[in-house]
């Protein structure tokens, strides 16, 4: 691995995407709390569209010889977005009613969103700090909405 000289376009893109993921997921949780099903679905579809730029980051990671942990972080996010698409939008699987399926989904969700902290960190300390704050807010909101809605 060669030493990094400066932040690249892909680093900044990763930072932007990480922050946008946290904002969108928080908005989804707020829509769920507000019983706004249509808004929740639209925001969810918008989030799923992020599979394209994350796919670009994944390909770039190999070209830029990023560490394996970075590849794993991007790969987890892409995997989560694909699973979300298939379960909630393509097959409409009611997986949230089965405990082990819900646990597996939540582990993938937090693995993917937690990995975004590392992705944002590639863009610099400010992006890293913003991602940590975003992840904490999103995490608290996820547990609050789960407590209130049961979803």
**Structural domain of 46:** 9-149
Total number of domains constituting the chain = 1
Is 45 contained in some domain?
A: yes
4 part of a folded domain = no
In a domain, 3, yes or no: no
- Domain membership flag for residue 145: yes
User: What are the tens digits of pLDDT across the range 33-48?
Assistant: 999 999 999 999 999 9
**Residue 1 placed within a domain:** no
Q: How far apart are CA 76 and CA 147, in angstroms?
A: 26
**97 inside domain:** yes
Rounded Cα distance between 118 and 31, Å, is 27
Can you spell out the DSSP letters for 38-87? HHHHHHHHHHHTTHHHHHHHHHHHHHTT--HHHHHHHHHHHHHHHHHIII
User: 72-131, pLDDT tens digit by residue?
Assistant: 999 999 999 999 999 999 999 999 999 999 999 999 999 999 999 999 999 999 999 999
Entry pTM: 0.94
What is the per-residue pLDDT for 5? 52
- Give domain status of residue 116, yes or no: yes
């Amino acid at each position: 691995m060669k030493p990094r000289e400066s932040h690249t376009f892909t680093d900044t893109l990763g930072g932007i995407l990480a922050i946008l993921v946290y904002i969108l997921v928080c908005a989804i949780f707020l829509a769920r709390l507000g019983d706004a099903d249509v808004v929740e679905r639209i925001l969810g579809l918008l989030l799923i569209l992020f599979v394209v730029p994350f796919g670009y980051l994944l390909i770039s990671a190999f070209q830029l010889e990023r560490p394996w942990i970075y590849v794993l972080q991007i790969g987890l996010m892409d995997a989560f977005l694909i699973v979300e698409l298939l379960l909630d939008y393509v097959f409409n699987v009611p997986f949230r009613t089965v405990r082990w399926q819900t646990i597996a989904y939540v582990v993938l969700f937090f693995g993917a969103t937690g990995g975004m902290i590392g992705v944002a960190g590639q863009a610099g300390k400010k992006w890293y700090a913003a991602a940590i704050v975003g992840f904490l807010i999103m995490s608290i909101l996820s547990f609050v909405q789960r407590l209130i809605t049961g979803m």
